[in-house]
Amino acid sequence: MKISIFGLGYVGVVSAACLGSDGHSVVGVDPNTSKVDMVNAGKAPIIEEGLGGLLESGVQAGFISATSDAEAAVLCTNVSFICVGTPSQSNGSLDLTYVRRVCEEIGKAIKLKQEFHVVVARSTMLPGSMKDTVLPILEKTSGKIAGKDFGVCINPEFLREGTAIEDYRNPPKTVIGEMDERSGDLLGELYSELNAPLVRTDLATAEMVKYTDNIWHALKVGFANEIGNVCKHAGIDGHRVMEIFCADEKLNLSSAYLKPGFAFGGSCLPKDIRAISYKAKSMDVELPIIDSILPSNQKQIERGLDMILSTGNKKISILGFSFKAGTDDLRESPLVEVIERLIGKGYDLRLYDRNVNLARLTGANKEYIHNVIPHISQLMVDNLEEVLEHGDTIVIGNRATEFKQALAMTSNNQSIIDLVRISEETSNKDKYNGICW
């Protein structure tokens, strides 16, 4: 494949070297003539293990070259990668000056081509940047229509400095955000030999994935450091604690708990966060990340409540209000707080939860239900059909299996507030609203 790569910085030059070593014809494009001259001489303009050897062999074999002539580069290739920098501005937003400039250059060159050309962004950009910046500039300067006359994709990179070539060869995943299937097919061919999952999705999702990855990495570092700081002051080896923590690949290092939804609750998580926070304060150790967990959780409760209030309906039915499906535990259930606040605002509620109904009669929560939240107990009904008939707004509070079927029993006149994504496929009902989807 013939590929032009705009920007011979870290991502661009590593991509050029790896693609060239795979036998593709690659031309790097950069206004910095020093970088162009170094690449043409087979020398790496950055320090990266193994990069110099790949560039040297690629140039000698005739697979890699560089130029400052953007138009010529586009005209002699069928795919253009955008790998320019997107630095932060003082307010935290991104400076897309280089992206705009390169898009203008590519668009003007595409205007001169008859062949279908694919533009692929590898630069890290906020969700919406492709739609609001890249596409309009390419269409305006080329006079053509994206997705029809030329292709557009975003292909976020997951390269770490110092291990970039290894990361390119052995990625955890390859993500292609595509505007049109033809372009996604062409780009997918470049990665067909890689032993990694290939994920094809829309442009905005691919943009967001890169940020999600990086923020998660930063959060892990900060979390480990805060645990280590508590351990240090308590006379504990923080490395040993985290080694044991990381040995759990079922819950700790896994996809467990990483599905967006409603707030957490129960007898363990809130209590233990408060306890460690208290312990840290007693040792004069600040924990900004850990101390922010419960306030963040509270914001999610408020977000759910606001969604219910926004329907404008006074008659509310709630399906499931234990803190998770399969339990009768109401301790620190976020749904209980929502229910109490709705009661305080004068809403007409009916509540249904098969497990809590049983607990009200015989379970360990019997005393809690009757003595601590008797006002809630009086609103509970034993029949699912009855609670569905009552509400103009139906709130799905946990993932009990029966609630998936209950969703199909609602009418199009009822508003549905889904706090748990009861179905992996979002509902096609007109008034369905999920909390994070």
The answer to whether residue 283 sits within a structural domain is no
Query: Across all residues in the chain, what is the average pLDDT?
Result: 94
Domain carrying residue 101: 2-201
Tell me the pLDDT tens digit for each residue of 21-55: 999 999 999 999 999 999 999 999 999 999 999 99
Last residue of a domain, one of 201, 226, 246: 201
Share of the chain above pLDDT 90, in %: 86
Q: What is the DSSP secondary structure assignment for residue 436, as one 8-state letter?
A: -
Shared domain check, 212 and 145: no
**Residue whose C-alpha is closest to residue 48's, from 158, 163, 151:** 163
Q: Is the dihedral of CA 407, 410, 411, 412 positive or negative?
A: negative
The answer to whether residue 124 sits within a structural domain is yes
Query: Going edge to edge, which strands form the sheet with 118-121?
Result: 64-67, 25-29, 2-6, 79-82, 118-121, 151-154, 174-178, 198-201
Shared domain check, 162 and 42: yes
What pLDDT, on the 0 to 100 scale, is given for residue 296? Answer: 98
Cα–Cα distance measured from residue 394 to residue 414, given in angstroms and rounded to the nearest whole number = 7
Tell me the pLDDT tens digit for each residue of 224-240: 999 999 999 999 999 99
Taking 80 as the threshold, does the pLDDT of residue 379 lie above it? yes
Question: Given pLDDT bands bounded at 50, 70 and 90, which one contains residue 407?
Answer: confident
Helix (H) or strand (E) holding 423: none
What pLDDT, on the 0 to 100 scale, is given for residue 119? Answer: 98
Taking 80 as the threshold, does the pLDDT of residue 371 lie above it? no
Share of the chain above pLDDT 70, in %: 97
Residues at the binding site for substrate are 158-161, 210, 257-261, 265, 324
Cα–Cα distance measured from residue 65 to residue 227, given in angstroms and rounded to the nearest whole number = 49
Question: Given pLDDT bands bounded at 50, 70 and 90, which one contains residue 263?
Answer: very high
Tell me the pLDDT tens digit for each residue of 359-370: 665 666 677 777
Cα–Cα distance measured from residue 399 to residue 8, given in angstroms and rounded to the nearest whole number = 49
Shared domain check, 300 and 233: no
Cα–Cα distance measured from residue 262 to residue 233, given in angstroms and rounded to the nearest whole number = 34
Contacts (Cβ under 8 Å, ≥6 apart) of 346: 314
> Which one from 18, 76, 231, 268 is the annotated catalytic residue?
268
The answer to whether residue 270 sits within a structural domain is no
**Residue whose C-alpha is closest to residue 161's, from 64, 57, 37, 50:** 50
Q: What's phi and psi for 415, nearest 5 deg?
A: -80, 135
The answer to whether residue 281 sits within a structural domain is no
CATH of the domain at 20: 3.40.50.720
Name residue 320's amino acid.
Answer: G
Shared domain check, 343 and 324: yes
Averaged pLDDT for residues 140-155: 98
β-bridge pairing 151-154 and 174-178: antiparallel
Instruction: Identify the residue whose tokens are 């299996």.
Output: 401
Last residue of a domain, one of 201, 220, 237: 201
How many Cβ atoms are within 10 Å of 110's Cβ, its own excluded?
A: 25
Tell me the pLDDT tens digit for each residue of 1-12: 999 999 999 999
Q: What's phi and psi for 55, nearest 5 deg?
A: -65, -45
Shared domain check, 90 and 133: yes
Q: What's phi and psi for 338, nearest 5 deg?
A: -60, -45
246 catalytically annotated: no
What pLDDT, on the 0 to 100 scale, is given for residue 375? Answer: 84
Shared domain check, 175 and 300: no
Q: What is the DSSP string of 111-135?
A: TT--S--EEEE-S---TTHIIIIIH
Last residue of a domain, one of 167, 201, 235: 201
Q: What is the DSSP secondary structure assignment for residue 88, as one 8-state letter?
A: B
The answer to whether residue 54 sits within a structural domain is yes
Shared domain check, 317 and 302: yes
What pLDDT, on the 0 to 100 scale, is given for residue 300? Answer: 98
Shared domain check, 253 and 123: no
Residues at the binding site for NAD(+) are 30, 35, 86, 124, 161, 271, 331
Averaged pLDDT for residues 7-21: 97
Instruction: Identify the residue whose tokens are 């234990």.
Output: 322
What pLDDT, on the 0 to 100 scale, is given for residue 427? Answer: 63
The answer to whether residue 138 sits within a structural domain is yes
Cα–Cα distance measured from residue 174 to residue 142, given in angstroms and rounded to the nearest whole number = 29
Taking 80 as the threshold, does the pLDDT of residue 121 lie above it? yes
Shared domain check, 131 and 7: yes
Instruction: Give the total number of structural domains in the chain.
Output: 3
Cα–Cα distance measured from residue 117 to residue 122, given in angstroms and rounded to the nearest whole number = 16
Averaged pLDDT for residues 190-194: 93
The answer to whether residue 37 sits within a structural domain is yes
Shared domain check, 207 and 161: no
Cα–Cα distance measured from residue 363 to residue 424, given in angstroms and rounded to the nearest whole number = 32
What pLDDT, on the 0 to 100 scale, is given for residue 363? Answer: 62
Instruction: Identify the residue whose tokens are 């290092």.
Output: 253
Lowest mean pLDDT among 34-38, 312-316, 383-387: 383-387
Specify whether the backbone of 316 is left (phi greater than 0), alpha (psi in -120 to 50) or beta: beta
**Residue whose C-alpha is closest to residue 152's, from 132, 174, 130, 167:** 130
Averaged pLDDT for residues 321-336: 86
Instruction: Identify the residue whose tokens are 């307010």.
Output: 91
β-bridge pairing 315-319 and 174-178: unpaired
Shared domain check, 325 and 254: no
Averaged pLDDT for residues 68-73: 98
On whether the CB atoms of residues 99 and 134 are closer than 8 A, the answer is yes
Cα–Cα distance measured from residue 243 to residue 180, given in angstroms and rounded to the nearest whole number = 45
Shared domain check, 40 and 160: yes
The answer to whether residue 63 sits within a structural domain is yes
Taking 90 as the threshold, does the pLDDT of residue 105 lie above it? yes
SS3 state at 190: helix
Q: What's phi and psi for 177, nearest 5 deg?
A: -95, 120
Looking at the DSSP bridge assignments, the partners of residue 88 are 94
Q: What is the DSSP string of 246-260?
A: HT-TTTTSSSTT-S-
What pLDDT, on the 0 to 100 scale, is given for residue 374? Answer: 83
What pLDDT, on the 0 to 100 scale, is given for residue 324? Answer: 84
